[in-house]
């Protein structure tokens, strides 16, 4: 028995139609999206059809994400794509080839170019609430001695404005200005924490959970974070914005003399310029918090000594 007829793909019936496929549940791996049907006028083995996917220059972006069952013609998402999820914004293109399996000679084949797009309600990245979007446009100023456990900002996001769809929030420091240069490449101690809402709403709060230090040797004056909102149903559907915090210096350091006591000698009745030089340092970073003035505290002897600032 010879193979006379070419197999014919009957569904989809035409090339290039854009097929819209609605997903019933979350897009995962091994999820069937489409069935390709074909017929062959021959009988027996000559009508036994095999489906496969082909990569073609004009239509290749789907092959990474989908597989076809050679017998049933079912196209499903690839099982290895956990980290490479299907994107609902993209039109995928696949070239399906169907071949018969003749006893003699080469198989007869035909092809169909299939374009499709997947959609599912709620299967989108989250969106920031308008008031949250605004918080990313400014620099948040936090005072160094700010109280712990206070909320410094609130982030709110939702998926297609549907509060029943869950959003997960994350914070990742990626840039900072700290006085210890050795720490420049190393992540400093971050005194902030992003906490989820106790009632499960799609809100996260940025709180101060450790004392903040702006001063040397280890303090930091600026932090930049990536604030990320992820669709809990598929975390790869995420939204990311940059949030910046500037620390405003507080006067939390007293000036310190660089030695614990000073000693000078002077002869009786001698008058001397530059009897002793003292120096104190203040670790605060804001000049107005480190501005140091000197006094002589002992009032009787003080009349005999004059302090000059140089």
Query: Under the rule (CB under 5 A), what is the footprint of Ca ion?
Result: 213, 215, 249-253, 282, 284, 289
CB of 245 to Ca ion, least distance (A): 16
> Closest CB to Ca ion among 124 and 215?
215
**Do 223 and 144 touch, CB atoms closer than 8 A?**
no
Cα first-last separation, the chain: 111
Q: Indicate if the alpha-carbon torsion angle 64, 65, 69, 74 is positive or negative.
A: negative
> Closest CB to Ca ion among 70 and 253?
253
Q: What is the DSSP letter of 289?
A: H
CB of 197 to Ca ion, least distance (A): 31
> Closest CB to Ca ion among 76 and 289?
289
CB of 175 to Ca ion, least distance (A): 21
- Report d(CA 161, CA 176) in Å as an integer: 34
CB of 308 to Ca ion, least distance (A): 22
**Do 40 and 29 touch, CB atoms closer than 8 A?**
no
SS (H, E, C) 7-62: CEEEECCCCCCEEEEECCCCCCCCCEEEECEEECCCCHHHHCCEEEEECECCECCC
- Report d(CA 214, CA 290) in Å as an integer: 13
> Closest CB to Ca ion among 44 and 216?
216
Q: What is the DSSP letter of 181?
A: G
> Closest CB to Ca ion among 11 and 251?
251
CB of 119 to Ca ion, least distance (A): 53
> Closest CB to Ca ion among 122 and 255?
255
CB of 207 to Ca ion, least distance (A): 19
């Amino acid at each position: 028995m010879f193979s006379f007829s070419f197999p014919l793909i009957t569904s989809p019936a035409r090339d290039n139609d854009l097929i819209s496929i609605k997903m019933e549940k979350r897009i995962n791996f091994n999820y069937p999206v489409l069935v390709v049907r074909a017929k062959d006028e021959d009988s027996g083995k000559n009508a036994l059809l095999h489906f496969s996917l082909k990569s073609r220059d004009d239509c290749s972006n789907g092959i990474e994400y989908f597989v076809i069952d050679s017998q049933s013609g079912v196209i499903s998402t690839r099982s290895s794509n956990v980290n490479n999820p299907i994107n609902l914004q993209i039109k995928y293109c696949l070239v399906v080839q169907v071949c018969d399996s003749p006893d003699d000679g080469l198989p007869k084949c035909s092809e169909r170019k299939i374009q499709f797009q997947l959609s599912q309600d709620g299967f989108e990245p989250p969106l920031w609430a308008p008031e949250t979007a605004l918080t990313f446009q400014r620099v948040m100023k936090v005072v160094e001695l700010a109280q712990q456990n206070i909320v410094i900002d609130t982030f709110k996001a939702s998926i297609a404005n549907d509060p029943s769809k869950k959003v997960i929030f994350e914070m990742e420091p990626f840039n900072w200005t700290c006085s210890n240069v050795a720490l420049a490449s190393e992540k400093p101690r971050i005194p902030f924490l992003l906490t989820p809402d106790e009632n499960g709403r799609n809100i996260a709060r940025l709180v101060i959970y450790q004392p903040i230090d702006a001063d040397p040797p280890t303090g930091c004056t600026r932090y930049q974070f990536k604030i990320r909102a992820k669709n809990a149903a598929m975390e790869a559907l995420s939204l990311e914005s940059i949030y910046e915090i500037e620390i405003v210096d507080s006067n939390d350091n007293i000036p310190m003399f660089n030695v614990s006591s000073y000693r000078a000698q002077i002869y009786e009745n001698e008058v001397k310029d530059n009897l002793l030089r003292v120096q104190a340092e203040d670790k605060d970073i804001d000049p107005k918090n480190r501005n140091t003035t000197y006094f002589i505290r002992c009032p009787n002897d003080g009349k005999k000594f004059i302090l000059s600032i140089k």
